[in-house]
Amino acid sequence: MIRYLITRVLSVIPVVGVVTTVVFGLTYLSPQDTAALLAGVFATPAQIAALRESLHLDDPLVVQYVRWLGNVVRGDLGNSIFSGQPVFSLILSRAEPTVILATAATLVQVIVSLPLGLLAAQRRGGITDQIVSLFGVAGTAIPPFLIGYVLIFTFGVYYGSMPVSGLPGVDAGIWDVLRHVFLPATMLGFAQTALITRITRASAIEVLDQDFIRVARAKGLDEFTILVRHCLKLIAVPLVTVIGMSFAGMLGGVVITETVFAIPGIGSLLVEAIHHKDVPVIQGVLLISACAYVVVNLLVDLSYLYMDPRIRYT
């Protein structure tokens, strides 16, 4: 286990290296001149050239990449072209709403999808199974932003019972946070809830056809105990994989949801940076998002051993 852990952690290093190369390369290919942005619209060509030289933008691409990577290793992601603030501070100031939203959406996915998937598997072929299967197809087909606008109109405009914009921090109180996060978390978790429901159903059906399930029923165990204690434990690995990857993707900023509900998170920061052609902020958001995805993927991979004792890493 220790050997596998060390090997798995070391394998993250080249992945992060590839991520940094891709992030730097994509933003470098942008046609926008960084020096011209910093100098302003009224700068002369001579002033732009002097600024470009002072920022070492005329250096070879490899030299610029090594310098940027060295700054990244030290935690320096540069300064925003638009606001002049450190990129890391900007991302950190926008991280709380995104983390709250991602956590709430993940809870919605788990709370809704697991019971529906297990119920559909336990009653496969019946009307309940057909309804859950229809929900799975609809959740994949319906665009998330459409769900968001329906929720806004229903609960925000028609009933007026839920706030439809913004997301306060945890210092505002749990109840206030829950009221603001309910609608966006429902919108964000809808599509993934449908996917996880389908995976739960398919995996549970395979387990429920095993001989030990028939033995458990012959012993008189109720269906709830069979589903929760026996079935759910055996299908935990694929479920945790999908849920973990979904959570990691949301940590990178859920652009559509944050835009629809005017949430000042990382996704909104990325949209603003693209609008202002703020290359350092775009690089910082993409890099941190990719690293978060890699780290969560590593944690999910390492959790398999504790969820399923049949797995042995060598």
Using one digit for the tens of pLDDT, what is the confidence trace for 19-55? 888 887 776 666 666 677 666 667 777 777 777 777 6
Q: Over the stretch 180-231, which tens digit does the pLDDT of each residue have?
A: 888 888 888 887 888 888 888 888 888 888 888 788 888 777 777 888 777 8
Same domain, 266 and 139: yes
CATH number at residue 203: 1.10.3720.10
Q: Which residues contact 206 (CB under 8 A, 6 or more apart)?
A: none
| Backbone φ, ψ for residue 222 (5° rounding) | -75, 160
Residue where one domain finishes, among candidates 43, 73, 103? 73
Residues 132 and 173 in one domain: yes
Predicted local confidence at residue 296, as pLDDT? 86
Q: Say if 85 falls within a structural domain.
A: no
In a domain, 137, yes or no: yes
Q: How far is CA 214 from CA 42, 69, 109, 125, 313, in A?
A: 79, 58, 30, 19, 31
**Shared-domain flag, residues 168 and 299:** yes
Q: Are residues 247 and 142 in the same domain?
A: yes
162: left (phi over 0), alpha (psi -120 to 50) or beta: beta
Claim to verify: residue 10 and residue 121 sit in the same structural domain: no
Res 33: pLDDT: 66
Beta bridge partners of 79: 86
Residues 31 and 170 occupy one common structural domain: no
- With respect to residue 312, please indicate whether it lies within any of the assigned structural domains: no
Give the residue among 249, 62, 301 at the shortest CA–CA distance from 144: 249
Low-confidence residues of the chain, pLDDT below 50? Answer: none
Question: Do 235 and 177 share a domain, yes or no?
Answer: yes
**209, part of any domain:** yes
Determine, yes or no, domain membership for 313. Answer: no
The answer as to whether 117 is a domain residue is yes
Give yes or no: residues 197 and 285 share one domain.
yes
- Number of domains composing the chain: 2
Give the range of the structural domain holding residue 12, as residue numbers without chain letter: 2-73
